[in-house]
Amino acid sequence: MNIDLSLYLVTDAKIATDAGRDLIELVHTAARNGVTTVQVREKDASARQFLDTVLRIAETLPPHASLLVNDRIDVYLAARAAGARVAGVHVGQSDLPVAAVREMIGSDAVLGLSASTEEQLRAAASGAGNVNYVGIGALHATATKKDAPPPLGIERFAQLVAASALPAVAIGGVTRHDLPGLRAAGAAGAAVVSAVCAAADPAAAVLDLRHAWEASA
């Protein structure tokens, strides 16, 4: 899997707009300052709006950063057909089965899966869909995902990482203060939403997160 999961931004257009930011510009700024993976998550957008957002982000994303599409396999396929530089998709437990997703996106695309229990982690590593990484959460209570599971906390997250045969990214209310504990627990990366999308200075917020992650090595 040729993707750096260390600092992983999940988009939220409403949070960005409420903070007075243009989402495309915010993502570009975040990637320039140290974000390595961007997952476009737009739960309330139409398919056409979602695709437009993905295409616009793909046009401005620096070469080092990977672009993933949340849930919508059709949007990913349409973006890829349009020639956009999209790396793959991230799906949840209630989305299409990973074996079906892998069949549709092909063997070369990145496939991420959300998980919050040992059973889900075992299933992810079973080989059914050749899952590349897991997103484990929610680390803390979060308002950015309406159907987020109960918060795990660092200790439980560490237990799940130890039980995972796949690279794991923490998500759910993650802040810079969590990064040393997450890295010590064996996380491959940390996914953030509000920490960047709601930041008064997104560039400074990303640099702070990047420093906290690297200083924890």
Is 137 annotated for ligand binding?
no
Asked whether residue 43 is marked as a ligand-binding residue, the answer is yes
For the segment 51-90, what is each residue's pLDDT rounded down to a tens digit?
Answer: 999 999 999 999 999 999 999 999 999 999 999 999 999 9
Average pLDDT on 170-191 reads 97
Is residue 126 one of the residues assigned to a domain?
yes
List, in order, residues 6 or more apart from 24 with CB less than 8 Å away. Answer: 53, 56, 57, 60
Residue 2 lies inside a defined structural domain of this protein: no
List 67's β-bridge partners, or say none.
Answer: 38
Q: Binding site annotation covers 107?
A: no
Q: Does residue 122 belong to any structural domain of this protein?
A: yes
- Annotated binding-site residue? 144: yes
Residue 1 located in a structural domain = no
Q: Answer whether 10's CB lies under 8 Å from 191's CB.
A: yes
Coil/strand/helix, residue 166: coil
Whole-structure pTM value: 0.96
Q: What is the mean pLDDT of residues 40-55?
A: 95
Q: Is residue 163 part of an annotated ligand binding site?
A: no
In this predicted structure, the answer to whether residue 217 has a pLDDT above a threshold of 90 is: no
161 assigned to a ligand binding site = no
Please count the CA atoms within 13 angstroms of the CA of 166 that sit on its side-chain side. Answer: 28
Instruction: Decide if 33 is inside a domain.
Output: yes
181 is in an annotated binding site: no
14 is in an annotated binding site: no
- How high is the pLDDT of residue 128? 86
Determine whether the annotation assigns residue 60 to a binding site: no
120 is in an annotated binding site: no
12 marked ligand binding residue? no
**CA 91, 212, 208, 35 torsion-angle sign:** negative
- pLDDT exceeds cutoff 90 at 145: no
89 within domain boundaries: yes
Mean pLDDT of 120-145: 91
State yes or no: 54 annotated in a binding site: no
- Number of domains comprising the chain: 1
Tell which residue, 70, 31, 67, has the closest CA to residue 50: 70
pLDDT of residue 149: 76
Q: What range defines the domain where residue 76 resides? A: 7-215
CA distances from 61 to 49, 79, 180 (A): 18, 14, 27
71 annotated to a ligand binding site: yes
| CATH (domain of 32) | 3.20.20.70
